[in-house]
């Protein structure tokens, strides 16, 4: 599958508080509504303008902080096809796998705001169409690949009546 869209660029250390702030705690059981504010505390122009298929592209330690799974979930609901960062915080990365949002580790210095990207997940390639360059990334560990392939952890458990890792 090839994912296509444009890049939205973020810096280092984007926390789950930036993505899904505590002051919007009361919207956590209304995820479509919360998604209208996704990443609001990092970039106010993101949520109103993001297009289906676009990419969140960031520096290091993306998703640090709280375990709130609402953070990757609303990024997915907003239509983002993948998050690409230099590195991820542990819980956020695992949550992405569980909810079926691709989280890709790559050298994002080679991607600028607005660049048109095509990502081939299975091949581990990001094609920066705007710049005419290709970036590569390593596949996930097997366990995570299996969960993602089933469409996330809920589907994995349903399909296998438990873990089948």
Partner 1 sequence: MGKTIVEKIISAHTGKEVSAGDFVVADVDVVLAQDGTGPLAVRQIEKMGFDTAALPEKTVLFLDHAAPSPKKELSNDHITLRNFARKTGVQVSDIGDGVCHQVIPEKYLNPGEILIGADSHTCTGGALGAFATGMGSTDVGVGIAMGKTWLRVPETFLFRITGEFQKGVYPKDLILHIIGTIGADGATYKAMEFAGPAIKAMEMTDRMTLSNMAVEAGAKCGLIASDAVTKTFLVERGRGDKFVSITADEDAVYEKVFDIDVSGLKPTISFPHKVDNTRTIDSPDCAGVKIDQVFIGTCTNGRIKDLRIAAGMLKGRKRHPDTRLIVTPASREIYGQALEEGVLKIFNDFGASINTPGCGACVGVHQGALGDGERCLATQNRNFQGRMGNTKGFIYLASPAVAAATAIEGVIADPRKYL
- Least distance in angstroms from the C-beta of 90 to partner 1: 5
The single-letter DSSP state of residue 116 is E
Nearer to partner 1, 107 or 120 (CB): 107
CB atoms within 10 A of CB 37: 20
Nearer to partner 1, 8 or 62 (CB): 62
- Least distance in angstroms from the C-beta of 162 to partner 1: 7
Binding site residues, partner 1, CB under 8 A:
13, 15, 17-18, 21-23, 25-30, 41, 60-61, 64-70, 73, 87, 89-91, 94-95, 98-99, 141-143, 152-154, 157-158, 162-163, 165
CB atoms within 10 A of CB 128: 18
The answer to whether the CB of 144 falls within 8 A of the CB of 165 is no
- Least distance in angstroms from the C-beta of 117 to partner 1: 25
Of residues 137, 24, 143, the one with CA closest to residue 82: 137
Nearer to partner 1, 4 or 67 (CB): 67
Tokens of 54: 């676009």
Nearer to partner 1, 19 or 117 (CB): 19
The answer to whether the CB of 44 falls within 8 A of the CB of 73 is no
- Least distance in angstroms from the C-beta of 154 to partner 1: 5
Q: Which residues pair with 82 in a beta bridge?
A: 55
DSSP H/E element including 6: strand 2-9
- Least distance in angstroms from the C-beta of 135 to partner 1: 21
The packing angle between helices 153-160 and 90-99, to 10°, is 50
Nearer to partner 1, 69 or 115 (CB): 69
């Amino acid at each position: 599958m090839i994912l296509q869209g444009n890049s939205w660029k973020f810096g280092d250390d984007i926390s789950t508080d930036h993505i899904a702030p505590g002051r919007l705690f009361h919207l956590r059981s209304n995820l479509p509504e919360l998604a209208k504010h996704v990443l609001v505390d990092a970039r106010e122009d993101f949520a109103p303008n993001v297009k289906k298929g676009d990419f969140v592209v960031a520096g290091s330690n993306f998703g640090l902080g709280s375990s709130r799974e609402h953070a990757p979930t609303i990024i997915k609901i907003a239509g983002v096809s993948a998050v690409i960062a230099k590195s991820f915080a542990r819980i956020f990365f695992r949550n992405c796998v569980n909810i079926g949002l691709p989280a890709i580790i790559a050298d994002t210095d080679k991607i600028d705001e607005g660049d048109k990207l095509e990502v081939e997940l299975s091949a581990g390639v990001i094609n920066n169409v705007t710049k005419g360059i290709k970036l590569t990334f390593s596949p996930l560990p097997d366990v995570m690949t299996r969960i993602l392939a089933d469409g996330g952890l809920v589907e994995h458990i349903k399909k296998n009546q438990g873990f089948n890792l």
